Structure 1
Amino acid sequence: MTIDAPRLGIEAIELYERPVRLRLPFRFGVVTLTECPQAFARVRVRGPDGRAAWGASAELMAPKWFDKNLQLSNEDNFRQLRTVLWTARDAYLSDSLPATAFGHFARHHHAHEDACVARGFNPLLANYGPALLDRAVLDAACRLNDMSFYDALQANLPGIDDSLPSFANLGMSALLRSLRPAASIEARHTVGLLDAITADDQAQRLDDGLPETLEEVVAAYGHRWFKLKVSGQRQHDIERLSHIAAVLDRRPEPYFASLDGNEQYATAQELLELTEAIRATPQLARLWSSIVFIEQPISRQHALETDLRHIRPGKPVIIDESDGVLDAFVQARACGYAGVSSKTCKGIYRSLLNTGRCIAWNRAQQDTRYFMSAEDLTTQAGLSVQQDLALVNLLGITHVERNGHHYVNGMAAQPPAEQDAFLQAHPDLYERRHGAVRLAIHSGRILCASLACVGYASGADPDFSAMQPLEAGGME
């Protein structure tokens, strides 16, 4: 059923951060990540009956993804992300008039984006701030109304309407009523550009008891889905993909994969040369047949100026980093792209909007050409991974890239009481192994029925007292 969306006043916004250190270096695109901060937002809202509640959210502050300018250091990227968070906080606190959860997003979206662009920030970067605040507002709204995230969205508790033109004519309330979450989802394992495929590739081992090579990952977790990073160097990619295929092809049962270009190709012709080389390599025949889509191969500067309809890459191509403005997917569709990624760092309302578009476009064409993928930004155990899992699960996506559990040692850096709280609240999602609470993946699947709890997918709170206040952004 659909309910009248409550109008909420935002009374306080607190921003925190804590460091995250990776157990293995993660190479994607132009960066090798070894450590970075995780941001947290706490928002207190007051409902129309006078009651108040806190909501929270979390997201890694990944460098060289939102802005890949090589003239900027990782620290510069962190300052950018802090700045857009503080800018969003100031915007959301600047208007004391109550609004629906979606109304707060719609009220500030364009002005916040414009303010960030005036600072030299691109829209993808700008939307990181509202993405965290909107999740925290929705979490608080769910708690005020004693509802789970799933029930709240199905009833349109956020009040999603056409106050932003991009949401018009999609029948969002009917779409939300039709969504049905599952009790589990398949984990798509990321193979980064530095990841060892077999033990022979390792100069030295961590020997921390967790899987390190692709061989070990498959043996430990039983994945059927994989995300394979490619570098833009065709011969190197062919050799590395052949090495990967030699491991995956041992599986008697089917496996599936996506190729992630991370903007490493300047033109559609370079993409075509890669796919033609893959198809011309006999040892990659099974891997090629297992690939379901190619993610953002062309740099964002050119991706939406490139018409893919004039080439035949052989697989559907989606955008990720090009998904900067609300109507980017509309532009991408006109260029021949078939899909777009869902990432909570880009905003929950964007994911819902693009899901509505896929459904409407497919219905109009009586086809299933357009689709959403579920991608990771090294989401960490706790609020971040839970809120992302709940979103993509509600959208009906059956597999999701998960990499945070592999590159980071679970909740090992968190206080023991925080680890215990999350394990107790979500015993299907987590397990205690090798000295820490961590994401549980068995037979390639993540069980997530416990996410249907009151609030936005979390029955536990992080220990905010163990964090430091978010530093000032300092980017002018």
Structure 2
Amino acid sequence: MTMDRSVGDPVTAPGVRIVEIDAFERDISLRLPFRFGAATLERATQAFLRVRVEDEEGKSAIGGAAEMMVPKWFDKNPALTPAQNVDQLRASIRAAAAASLEASEPTTLFTAARLNELETVRRLPGNPLAAGFGPSLIARAALDAYCRLRGLSFFDAVRRNLVGVGGPMLPGDIDAAAASAVLAGLRPAGSISARHTIGLLDPITESDIENPVDDGLPQSLEAVIERYGNHWFKIKLSGTVDADVDRLARIAAVLDRLPDYRVTVDGNEQFGAAEQLGALLSRIDSISRLARLRAAIAFVEQPFSREITMQTPLGELAAQLPFLIDESDDGDEAFARARKLGYTGVSVKTCKGIYRSLIKAIRIRTGGVPGLFLSGEDLTCQAGLAVQQDLALVSLLGLSHVERNGHHYVAGMQGAPHAEKARFAAAHPDLYEQGADGPLLSIRGGRIDIGSLTAIGYASRALPDFEAMEPLSIG
């Protein structure tokens, strides 16, 4: 197999086969409770995958991926407990692993990932967002392994289309040659702005802190700004108009001290109707002390539950602000459906699949419709593989800012052995700074330096200590 002949040509992109998949878990305690919507997270489990790929010459390499198994995001059905939510994600990993290992013929990474997602969703019907969790991890780990096998960075593999975006697995409205041209034109940056999440339980000022956490890291919004210098923020809303207005006023009193800032607001699926959201926006418009914050809003994220979003046109709201779907983005055609309702933005998350993110970017760049946009939204990505792979993806897609919250709610690489922490800190000195118990995500002047993510592999010179984790049975 040769490599150069496949540059920009999905038809001749290298074929690989996944020959081994191992899954692991690592439990994590949050330093601060994180409330989003109706759920409050205090503990969680991070899933890790180790995948071995083999090329057509029999050469092989391993790669990894990681993601938090966050309850009450992939499925907010109140009849399910948080433990049942996590079991859904474990089931997705198992189903995706079984389907991947059943494939016997080498194929491109793109085709393998797309087929795996389709098959896993078929085997686990009812919630494609949860079902897609396992396939997203396998796709990332397989790409990491391929890059290590070929001595390539993630950026080079995608830009040269060695992943094979094209063929019958490419949606019919996208031309394969145009897709390769878009990928070739992507230009990752050396740094990106961190958009700080202001959770519903987060103290706004130092005087709001009721339960101090003595770990040297900031708790209040005031302290976050002082330490990290953020100028982009994401504000979680509760859906209760009076409470949201009061909290926004307290947030604005802090943010207005900055010479310049931008915010996004996340509805967390908490608004029951367009009229309810419209009432909140009208209240904001009528309050003078919210004038700067209102002018700083870049977009509104997922205001309605996924059950009603696709039946709820935005109407006049779409003329007031840009709107973005997140939880309702559960398949290739979701954004097209949402656009008919007035939405112009869609989220990018590694947990929803790197190739789906690439397809979104290709559609936006080739569709000829002005005003459409992507936005990077966090799922408490943890230091190590998870945050590095997510940062690499959003940077490659040309995003100038990304929501980051994992570093705020979890202190560093919690649960990792000392040697693993040291490997990641040494491999990515621009990305991490040394904390009391190991590497912490480094944010200076509101920005994250990510130049070291150009390393061979998918954005990481290091791999976790898989043997120090709890095995997750996939057999």
| TM bucket normalised to smaller | over 0.9
2:66 to 58, 67, 86: 58
User: Are 2:111 and 2:169, in contact at CA under 8 Å, matched by a contact in 1?
Assistant: no
2:116 is paired with a residue whose SS is helix
Letter in 2 for 1:407: Y
**Which residue pairs with 1:236 in the alignment?**
243
Worse overlay, 155-164 or 52-61: 155-164
Q: Establish whether residue 41 from structure 1 lines up as the match of residue 46 from structure 2.
A: no
**Which residue pairs with 2:398 in the alignment?**
396
| Runs of 4+ deviating beyond 6 Å | none
Give, in angstroms, the shift of residue 436 of structure 1. 2.0
Letter in 1 for 2:296: S
Q: Establish whether residue 104 from structure 1 lines up as the match of residue 106 from structure 2.
A: no
Counterpart-to-counterpart distance in 1, 2:38 and 2:204: 20
Q: Establish whether residue 348 from structure 1 lines up as the match of residue 354 from structure 2.
A: yes
Worse overlay, 3-12 or 374-383: 3-12
**Which residue pairs with 2:4 in the alignment?**
none
**Which residue pairs with 2:303 in the alignment?**
297
**Which residue pairs with 2:23 in the alignment?**
15
The one-character-per-residue Cα deviations of 1:311-349 (angstroms, maximum 9, x if unpaired) are: 456110000000011111111111110010000000001
1:163 is paired with a residue whose SS is helix
**Which residue pairs with 1:419 in the alignment?**
421
**Which residue pairs with 1:125 in the alignment?**
130
**Which residue pairs with 1:268 in the alignment?**
274
Letter in 1 for 2:121: E
User: Are 1:266 and 1:298, in contact at CA under 8 Å, matched by a contact in 2?
Assistant: yes
Counterpart-to-counterpart distance in 1, 2:240 and 2:318: 20
The one-character-per-residue Cα deviations of 1:4-25 (angstroms, maximum 9, x if unpaired) are: 4110111111011110110000
With over 3 angstroms needed to count, the CA separation of the structure-2 counterparts of 1:161 and 1:168, relative to structure 1, is: farther
1:147 to 152, 155, 158: 152
2:450 to 439, 448, 451: 448
User: Are 2:174 and 2:363, in contact at CA under 8 Å, matched by a contact in 1?
Assistant: no
Give, in angstroms, the shift of residue 107 of structure 1. 2.4
1:181 is paired with a residue whose SS is coil
Worse overlay, 279-288 or 103-112: 103-112
With over 3 angstroms needed to count, the CA separation of the structure-2 counterparts of 1:46 and 1:471, relative to structure 1, is: closer
User: Are 1:430 and 1:440, in contact at CA under 8 Å, matched by a contact in 2?
Assistant: yes
Q: Establish whether residue 333 from structure 1 lines up as the match of residue 335 from structure 2.
A: no
1:41 is paired with a residue whose SS is strand
Letter in 2 for 1:354: K
Counterpart-to-counterpart distance in 1, 2:52 and 2:435: 35
1:385 to 384, 387, 398: 387
Worse overlay, 88-97 or 164-173: 164-173
Counterpart-to-counterpart distance in 2, 1:223 and 1:111: 42
The one-character-per-residue Cα deviations of 1:181-235 (angstroms, maximum 9, x if unpaired) are: 0000000000000000012212221121110100000000000000000000000
Worse overlay, 372-381 or 326-335: 326-335
**Which residue pairs with 2:375 in the alignment?**
373
User: Are 1:275 and 1:313, in contact at CA under 8 Å, matched by a contact in 2?
Assistant: no
User: Are 2:200 and 2:237, in contact at CA under 8 Å, matched by a contact in 1?
Assistant: yes
Letter in 1 for 2:310: L
1:166 is paired with a residue whose SS is coil
2:21 is paired with a residue whose SS is strand
Q: Establish whether residue 200 from structure 1 lines up as the match of residue 217 from structure 2.
A: no
User: Are 1:272 and 1:313, in contact at CA under 8 Å, matched by a contact in 2?
Assistant: no
Counterpart-to-counterpart distance in 1, 2:169 and 2:58: 28
**Which residue pairs with 1:227 in the alignment?**
234
- TM normalised by structure 2 equals 0.96
The one-character-per-residue Cα deviations of 1:397-453 (angstroms, maximum 9, x if unpaired) are: 000000000000102431110011001100000010233211000000000000001
Counterpart-to-counterpart distance in 2, 1:223 and 1:81: 33
Give, in angstroms, the shift of residue 109 of structure 1. 2.8
1:278 to 275, 279, 284: 284
Counterpart-to-counterpart distance in 2, 1:308 and 1:357: 22
**Which residue pairs with 2:8 in the alignment?**
2
How many pairs were matched up?
A: 465
User: Are 2:318 and 2:342, in contact at CA under 8 Å, matched by a contact in 1?
Assistant: no
Counterpart-to-counterpart distance in 2, 1:342 and 1:142: 22
Give, in angstroms, the shift of residue 165 of structure 1. 4.9
User: Are 1:271 and 1:313, in contact at CA under 8 Å, matched by a contact in 2?
Assistant: no
**Which residue pairs with 2:3 in the alignment?**
none
1:142 is paired with a residue whose SS is helix
1:14 is paired with a residue whose SS is strand
User: Are 2:252 and 2:293, in contact at CA under 8 Å, matched by a contact in 1?
Assistant: yes
User: Are 1:38 and 1:61, in contact at CA under 8 Å, matched by a contact in 2?
Assistant: yes
Q: Establish whether residue 185 from structure 1 lines up as the match of residue 192 from structure 2.
A: yes
Worse overlay, 433-442 or 106-115: 106-115
Counterpart-to-counterpart distance in 2, 1:133 and 1:266: 36
User: Are 2:193 and 2:446, in contact at CA under 8 Å, matched by a contact in 1?
Assistant: yes
Counterpart-to-counterpart distance in 2, 1:165 and 1:217: 42
Counterpart-to-counterpart distance in 2, 1:162 and 1:463: 37
Give, in angstroms, the shift of residue 270 of structure 1. 1.3
- Alpha-carbon RMSD across the aligned residues, in angstroms, is 1.3
Counterpart-to-counterpart distance in 2, 1:472 and 1:422: 27
**Which residue pairs with 1:437 in the alignment?**
439
2:243 is paired with a residue whose SS is helix
Counterpart-to-counterpart distance in 2, 1:51 and 1:168: 36
1:24 to 5, 18, 32: 32
User: Are 1:161 and 1:168, in contact at CA under 8 Å, matched by a contact in 2?
Assistant: no
Counterpart-to-counterpart distance in 1, 2:396 and 2:108: 21
Give, in angstroms, the shift of residue 97 of structure 1. 1.1
Unaligned runs of 5+ in 2: 1-6
User: Are 1:42 and 1:55, in contact at CA under 8 Å, matched by a contact in 2?
Assistant: yes
Counterpart-to-counterpart distance in 2, 1:312 and 1:353: 24
Counterpart-to-counterpart distance in 2, 1:17 and 1:278: 43
User: Are 2:22 and 2:474, in contact at CA under 8 Å, matched by a contact in 1?
Assistant: no
**Which residue pairs with 2:84 in the alignment?**
76
2:443 is paired with a residue whose SS is coil
**Which residue pairs with 2:459 in the alignment?**
457
2:93 is paired with a residue whose SS is helix
User: Are 1:167 and 1:353, in contact at CA under 8 Å, matched by a contact in 2?
Assistant: no
Counterpart-to-counterpart distance in 1, 2:356 and 2:336: 12
